[in-house]
Amino acid sequence: TEPSSPAVKTAIPGPKSSTMKRDLNLIQNTDVVHFFVDYDRSMGNYIVDVDGNVLLDLFTQIASIPLGYNHPRIMKVLTDPVNLAAFANRPALGMYPPSEFAQILSETLLSVAPRGINQVQTMACGACSVEHALKGAFMAYRRRERGGSPPTQEEIETSLLNTPPGCPKLSVLSFKNAFHGRTMGALALSHTKWVHKLDFPSPCWPFATFPTLKYPLEEFADENNAEDARCLAEVQDKIASAKRAGQPVACVATEPMQCEGGDRYGSPNFFQGLQDICQENSIALLLDEVQTGAGASGKFWLHEHFYLRDPPNLVTFAKKMLTGGFYYTPDMRPTEGGRIFNTWTGDPSKVIMLKAVLDVIKEERLLDRTADTGIYMIEILMAAQNKYPNLLSNSRGLGSLAAVDLPDGESRDKIVGKLRSKGINVGVCGSRTMRLRSTLTLERKHIDIFADRLHAALKEM
Amino acid sequence: TEPSSPAVKTAIPGPKSSTMKRDLNLIQNTDVVHFFVDYDRSMGNYIVDVDGNVLLDLFTQIASIPLGYNHPRIMKVLTDPVNLAAFANRPALGMYPPSEFAQILSETLLSVAPRGINQVQTMACGACSVEHALKGAFMAYRRRERGGSPPTQEEIETSLLNTPPGCPKLSVLSFKNAFHGRTMGALALSHTKWVHKLDFPSPCWPFATFPTLKYPLEEFADENNAEDARCLAEVQDKIASAKRAGQPVACVATEPMQCEGGDRYGSPNFFQGLQDICQENSIALLLDEVQTGAGASGKFWLHEHFYLRDPPNLVTFAKKMLTGGFYYTPDMRPTEGGRIFNTWTGDPSKVIMLKAVLDVIKEERLLDRTADTGIYMIEILMAAQNKYPNLLSNSRGLGSLAAVDLPDGESRDKIVGKLRSKGINVGVCGSRTMRLRSTLTLERKHIDIFADRLHAALKEM
Ligand code: FES
C-alpha cells in the first residue's frame, strides 16, 4: 500500500544513488540522472529511491505513469497467464499481428479516440509517432497535388536519391518553444533548449510564435485576444512565405499546451483559428498530445477543451498511454501498404497494459477526479502565489498538469531542490517554470502534503 | 514443446486471418499483413496462425526473435516476481534509472560489447538507435572543429532556429541499397524501396555504391577485389565532393551486410578499407547491426568477421537484442547531459529479457550451433541451386542469415508463396531475393524439413 507521507533520511541523491551514478557514469553520460529508484518499493504516488527516501512524485517519470507505481491492476495484467505470450513474443506487428488485434485496438485506443476519429496506428514512442504522423500529412499533400494520378517514374527513382520530386521540398510549420521529440524530423519541430539541437543538422522548416498568455486570464482578456490574433496572422504569413520559398507547408504541428517550453497554454480561440487556417490552406493539423493526453487535463485529450469544429487530422500520443501511436482522419490514411511501417510499430504488451489503465480510469471516474484535484492544485498554488508574490507567478494548470513560474531559473532550481529534500519530487520546464505532472490517482490529501512542503520551502527562500 | 513438423490445413491467409484482416483494415492500412498469429500456440521455431496452420518460421518477425516463440527461459523471466516491478513501471531511464543499472548493463549489453568498447546507450528501436548514434558523431565532429572552445552564443541561438552555425550543414554518407530505419535521419540513409521514401522530404545527404560481390567468391576473387577498390574510391570521392559542397561528412553509416537491400555482403577487405578512409578523414564509422547482431552471423556481431583493426565508432542494435541501443567509442560520448536523451531511452524490462537470451546463448553455445547450421543451410541451398540453376543463384549466408536469388521478383514471390503453403515461412528482400532469418536455436533437423519443402516447391515452378 501507498505510504502516508514522504520520508527523507539522506541528502538526495543519497550515498547509494551517488555510488550507482559513479558506476553508471563509466558507461554513459549521467549528468541528468536525479537519483536511482527502488521500483520494487515505490508505490502509488510515492517514489522510493535506493537510499530509502520516500518522495511524493509530482513528476512521475516525465509525466508517463498513469495510475501510480506498481498499481494492483497493472500487476494483475502482468501475472495473468493469459497475457504471457504477448510479453514473450514481440511481433512485427504490421506483418504478423496477434489474434483479434482489431478488437484489441477497438477496446483500447479506439475507445478513447478523439471524437470523430476511427483510425489509429500504434508506434513505439513519442518521436516515431510524430515522424510517422508527418508522413501521413506528406502523402496526403502529394496525393492531392497528383489529383489521383500515380507517382511518376521520376518521382519513384528520385525518392531513392533523397532529391525532388521524389523527396519533395515540403515543410512542417511548428512553434517557438515547442517540443516534439529527438529524431531528426521531430527535432526540427522543437525549439526549446540548445542541448536538444546544437550540432545536429536540421531541415530548415519554418516556425511561428506561440501565444504568450497573461495571467490571470480574466484580467487580461483583451491583451490575450490580441496576442492570439497576432500569432495567427504570423502563422498565415509563414505559410505564405514558405510557399513562395518553394517549400510549402504540408502540416502545422503543435502541442495543445507547450510542455517543455514552459507550460504555455493556448486559448480555444487560438486553436480554433489555427484549424481554420489549416483547412483554408489544405494543410494537415497535427496535435501532439504525447504529454497532455491520456486524461492528464481532466478530459481524455487536452484539445477537447478547445471545442474544435472538426477533429484534428493527426493526434499523436505516448507516455501515459504506455504505447506510442497516432490517430488520424481518413484523408491521412496511406493508400499503399508498408508506408507507415517499421519492424515493431509498437508493442502489443503495452496495449494490454493500457487496457487495464483505461478500465481503471473508467471504473474509478479518474477524469472527474483529475479535473477536481487539478482545481484544488491551482487553489493551492494561487494561495502560495498570493502569499509570496515576489517568488511565484502565473499559477496555471488543468487536471494533473500544473505549473508556476519563479523569478528566474536559479530560484526555480533552488525551490525544486528544497522540495526534493522535503520529500516532494517535481519537474522543471521552460526557463523558470516549476512543472507538476501527477498521476491520475492523485488526491486532495496528496496536494495538502505538497502545500505544506511548498510553504516550508518558500519560507526558506 | 515445439511441433515436429509443419502442418497446413487451410490456404494462408486462412478464413480466420482474412476476417481479422478485414476488421483491422477498417482501422488502418493492412496491405502488408501476411496472416494473424496465435502467439499462445506458437512454439520454438514454429509459428501457428489463427487458422491453426503450423509453419516452420525462417523469417521470425523480420529477424527479431532470438530463441524462438515462448522460450521457457523467457517465460521464466516473465513469471519471476522479482522482475514484476521492471515490467510495471517503465522509467524515464536517463533521469530515474533503476537500482544497480550499471551492473545490469555490465551483465547484459557490455558483456557482449564489440571488442574494445565499454560505452553503451539504450534506446527503444532501431531507428532511434541510429538517429542518436549519428548525434554522437555530429557532436564529436563539431567538438573537434571547436578545438576545446565552448559553443558560441550564435551557435546556441541559431540551434533553436534550425539554421547554421547551430544546426550545421553536416552530412552522413550512406550506401545505395542500404536500409537504416524510417525516421527522418535514418530514412535519409536508406535507399531500398520507394514505398519507404516517396513524398517524404529528406536532407540531401550523399551516398556511394556498396560492392556487388560475384558468387561463388572463390571463382571471382579478382573481380570482387576490383569492385571493392572501385567502391572505396567512390567513397573517397563522395567525401571530398561533400566537403567542397559545404556539407562535410561527419559519419559513414553502413550495415555490415545489407539486408533489406538484398542480402548484399561486403568483404573484410572492403570494410577494413572503409575504416581506413574514415580514420584518415576523421569521420566516424557507424556499423548498423540492427538485423545482423545478437549472434545472427554465428559470431555475436557480424563485423567480427571483418577483423577490423579498431572498433567501429558506433554500433547500433535492436531486433533480436530485444532492446535498441548503440555502443560507442569514448570520442563519441556526449560531454553534456541531456543530449542523447528522450523520455524512455529504452525499457529496462527488455534488458532483463535480454539477460535470459544471453544466458541461453552462452549455456547452449548457440553461436557455435548457429555457425554450424548456417554452413548446413548453405549446403542445402547450393545443392538446390545446382539442381535448379535456372531458378536459383547466389546462395549466400552466415549463421542464421541466408539468402538465394530467383530470376526475378515474380518468381521469387511465387516460390515464397509455395513455401508458405507447404508450411515454411520465409521473407524477401532486394528485388529478387528470398531472405531466411532463423532463430539461434534452429537445428539441422529444421533445415532438412526446409530442404524437403524447397525441393517440392522448386519442382512445381
Ligand atoms: S523512434 Fe520511437 S521507439 Fe525508436
Q: How many residues does chain A have?
A: 461
Domains A15-71+366-460 and A90-361 share a fold: no
- Main-chain dihedrals φ then ψ at residue A103, nearest 5 degrees: -65, -40
Return the sign of the alpha-carbon dihedral for residues B136, B142, B148, B152: negative
CB B318 near ligand 1, within 6 Å:
no
Q: Nearest by CB to A20, which of B95, B102, B135?
A: B102
Q: What is the pLDDT of residues A325-351, one digit of tens each?
A: 999 999 999 999 999 999 999 999 999
Which residue from A243, A327, A311, A316 is spatially nearest to A279, judged by alpha carbons?
Answer: A311
CA distance A404 to A385: 9
Active site residue A316: no
Distance A182 CA to ligand 1 centre (A): 10
CB B212 near ligand 1, within 6 Å:
no
User: A415, A6 in Cβ contact below 8 A?
Assistant: no
CA distance B256 to B241: 24
Q: Which chain B residues are Cβ-neighbours of A319 within 8 angstroms?
A: 343
CA distance B128 to B124: 7
Residue of A nearest to B123 (CA): A125
Contact check, Cβ <8 Å, A62/B343? yes
Residue given cell 499533400 in the structure block: A141
Share in percent of chain A as helix, strand, coil (round to 5)? 40, 15, 45
Which residue from B397, B3, B336 is spatially nearest to B140, judged by alpha carbons?
Answer: B336
Confidence tier at A133 by pLDDT (50, 70, 90):
very high
Confidence tier at B85 by pLDDT (50, 70, 90):
very high
CA distance B42 to B316: 29
Give the nearest ligand 1 atom to A124 CA.
Answer: 3
Q: Nearest by CB to B29, which of A138, A141, A334?
A: A334
User: A32, B94 in Cβ contact below 8 A?
Assistant: yes
Confidence tier at A395 by pLDDT (50, 70, 90):
very high
User: A120, A110 in Cβ contact below 8 A?
Assistant: yes
Give the nearest ligand 1 atom to A129 CA.
Answer: 2
CA distance B250 to B334: 15
CA distance B264 to B215: 11
Q: Which residues, including other chains, have CB under 8 Å from residue A285's CB and lie 6 or more apart? A: A251, A252, A274, A275, A278, A312, A313, A314
Q: Which residues, including other chains, have CB under 8 Å from residue B448's CB and lie 6 or more apart? A: none
Query: What is the rounded average pLDDT of the residues A380-405?
Result: 98
**Domain map of chain B by residue range?**
7-20+28-58, 84-361
Q: Which chain B residues are Cβ-neighbours of A336 within 8 angstroms?
A: 29, 31, 195
- Decide the pairing of beta strands B393-398 and B284-288: unpaired
Confidence tier at A267 by pLDDT (50, 70, 90):
very high
Average pLDDT, chain B: 98
Shortest Cα distance from B364 to chain A (angstroms)? 20
Confidence tier at B359 by pLDDT (50, 70, 90):
very high
CATH of domain A90-361: 3.40.640.10
Contact check, Cβ <8 Å, A183/B127? yes
Which residue from A262, A203, A270, A269 is spatially nearest to A235, judged by alpha carbons?
Answer: A270
User: A74, A67 in Cβ contact below 8 A?
Assistant: yes
Say what angle helices B348-363 and B72-79 make with each other, to 10 degrees. Answer: 140
Active site residue A317: no
CA distance B288 to B180: 7
Torsion of the alpha carbons at B214, B220, B221 and B222, rounded to the nearest 10: -110
Mutate to test the interface with B, among A198, A290, A437 (most CBs of B within 10 A): A198
What count of other Cβ atoms lies within 10 Å of the Cβ of residue B312?
A: 29
Active-site pick, A238, A319, A350, A418:
A319
Contact check, Cβ <8 Å, B333/A28? yes
Q: Characterize B351-385 residue by residue with b for buried, 16 or more Cβ atoms within 10 angstroms of its Cβ, and e for exposed.
A: bbbbbbbbebbeeeebbebbbebbebbbebbbebb
Q: What is the pLDDT of residues A164-200, one digit of tens each?
A: 999 999 999 999 999 999 999 999 999 999 999 999 9
Distance B346 CA to ligand 1 centre (A): 9
Give the nearest ligand 1 atom to B324 CA.
Answer: 4
Confidence tier at B91 by pLDDT (50, 70, 90):
very high
pLDDT score, position B158 = 98
Burial of A264 (0-12, 13-18, 19+ CB in 10 A): buried
CA distance A120 to A270: 26
Query: What is the rounded average pLDDT of the residues A289-300?
Result: 98
Q: Which chain A residues are Cβ-neighbours of B182 within 8 angstroms?
A: 128, 131-132, 341-342
DSSP B26-70: TTS--TT----B-TTT-BBTEEEBTT--EEEESSHHHHT-SS-BT
Active-site pick, B343, B362, B408, B445:
B343
pLDDT score, position A308 = 98
Q: What's the pTM value of the predicted model, to 2 decimals?
A: 0.98
Distance B368 CA to ligand 1 centre (A): 32
pLDDT score, position B104 = 97
CA distance B254 to B189: 9
CB B124 near ligand 1, within 6 Å:
yes
Enclosing H/E stretch for A9: none
Quick check: helix, strand or coil at residue A28?
Answer: coil
The vertex-A457 CA angle with A453 and A458, nearest 5°, equals 120
Q: Which chain A residues are Cβ-neighbours of B149 within 8 angstroms?
A: none
pLDDT score, position A245 = 97
Confidence tier at B328 by pLDDT (50, 70, 90):
very high
CA distance B202 to B184: 7
Mutate to test the interface with A, among B50, B73, B96 (most CBs of A within 10 A): B96
Q: Nearest by CB to A160, which of B86, B128, B191?
A: B191
Contact check, Cβ <8 Å, B99/A39? yes
- Decide the pairing of beta strands A171-175 and A249-254: parallel
Active-site pick, B51, B263, B288, B405:
B288
Q: Nearest by CB to B99, which of A50, A101, A110?
A: A50
The vertex-B304 CA angle with B303 and B306, nearest 5°, equals 70
What's the CATH fold of domain B84-361?
Answer: Aspartate Aminotransferase; domain 2 (3.40.640)
Residue of B125, B290, B319, B342 to mutate, ligand 1, most atoms within 8 A of C-beta: B125
pLDDT score, position B319 = 98
Shortest Cα distance from B403 to chain A (angstroms)? 19
Give the rounded distance of the alpha carbon of B162 from its chain centre: 30
Q: Which chain B residues are Cβ-neighbours of A20 within 8 angstroms?
A: 97, 99-102
CA distance B176 to A383: 63
Cell numbers standing for residue B258: 545489407
Residue given cell 567509442 in the structure block: B329
Residue of A nearest to B17 (CA): A99
CA distance A209 to A226: 13
Active site residue A179: yes
pLDDT score, position B7 = 98
Residue of A nearest to B150 (CA): A198
Contact check, Cβ <8 Å, B192/A160? yes
* Tally of CA atoms within 13 A in the half-sphere of A105 that contains its CB: 28
The vertex-A312 CA angle with A95 and A438, nearest 5°, equals 85
* Tally of CA atoms within 13 A in the half-sphere of A399 that contains its CB: 26
Cell numbers standing for residue B303: 563485423
Which residue from B367, B391, B61, B395 is spatially nearest to B217, judged by alpha carbons?
Answer: B395
Contact check, Cβ <8 Å, A188/B184? yes
Contact check, Cβ <8 Å, A184/B182? no
Active site residue A370: no
Which residue from A296, A288, A307, A305 is spatially nearest to A403, judged by alpha carbons?
Answer: A296
Enclosing H/E stretch for A249: strand A249-254
What count of other Cβ atoms lies within 10 Å of the Cβ of residue A121?
A: 29
Contact check, Cβ <8 Å, B61/A92? yes
Contact check, Cβ <8 Å, A62/B338? no
Sheet hosting strand A46-48, strand order edge to edge: A46-48, A54-57, A424-425
CB A250 near ligand 1, within 6 Å:
no
Average pLDDT, chain A: 98
Distance A447 CA to ligand 1 centre (A): 35
Contact check, Cβ <8 Å, A125/B124? yes
Cell numbers standing for residue A284: 494537415
Cell numbers standing for residue B49: 496462425
pLDDT score, position B173 = 98
CB B183 near ligand 1, within 6 Å:
yes
Give the rounded distance of the alpha carbon of B99 from its chain centre: 30
CA distance B283 to B253: 10
**CB pairs A-B closer than 8 Å:** 398
CA distance B115 to B300: 11
Choose which CATH entry (3.10.310.10, 3.30.70.260, 3.90.1150.10, 3.40.350.10) describes domain A15-71+366-460.
3.90.1150.10
CA distance A74 to B229: 57
Return the sign of the alpha-carbon dihedral for residues B346, B348, B353, B357: positive
Residue of A90, A122, A125, A129 to mutate, ligand 1, most atoms within 8 A of C-beta: A125
Contact check, Cβ <8 Å, B96/A343? no
Share in percent of chain B as helix, strand, coil (round to 5)? 40, 15, 45
Cell numbers standing for residue B352: 532483463
What count of other Cβ atoms lies within 10 Å of the Cβ of residue A225?
A: 14
Active-site pick, A80, A243, A343, A445:
A343
Cell numbers standing for residue B86: 521492471
DSSP secondary-structure letter at B104?
H
Active-site pick, B210, B270, B316, B319:
B319
Q: What is the pLDDT of residues A67-111, one digit of tens each?
A: 999 999 999 999 999 999 999 999 999 999 999 999 999 999 999
What would you report as the CA-atom Rg of chain A, rounded to the nearest whole angstrom? 23
